[in-house]
Structure 1
């Protein structure tokens, strides 16, 4: 996984929807600090968390990790 792409796309998806990191973390059942670390490239999320985030944003896992530029 390209962590730079993941961080960029997480931030982009969140901003497109006008959400805070706190709002995303609540839905995904993770701490706000964990989500911040994903956007700051300090940590890589587990697959189960990535799936929850992708579902929340309505995008594919491939999009989040940079394997495609198509969101769905």
Structure 2
């Protein structure tokens, strides 16, 4: 899951600083999400899924299909 979060951010040409500002969290907290040092709260997963146009299932690795459910 953590690699996928980083890959999605990089695919959208965003920095950790930009992501932390978008999520209104400290940059080290966001970095810890990507490193797997902290579990990502559900409210953050929801915001990431909306931002990237994908599903939470894709972000957490339950599916390899990045398309959101309809």
Specify if TM > 0.5: yes
**TM-score, scaled relative to structure 1:** 0.85
Listed as ranges, the gaps of 5+ residues in structure 1 are: 1-5
Asked if 1:34 is matched to 2:24, the reply is no
In structure 2, C-alpha distance between the alignment counterparts of 1:41 and 1:67, rounded to whole Å: 17
Asked if 1:18 is matched to 2:13, the reply is yes
Runs of 4+ in 1 over 2 A off after TM superposition: none
**TM-score, scaled relative to structure 2:** 0.88
1:7-41 deviation line (CA, Å, top 9, x unaligned):
11011001111110010111122211111001101
Q: Which has the larger radius of gyration?
A: 2
Superposition RMSD in Å: 0.9
* Residue-pair matches, total: 67
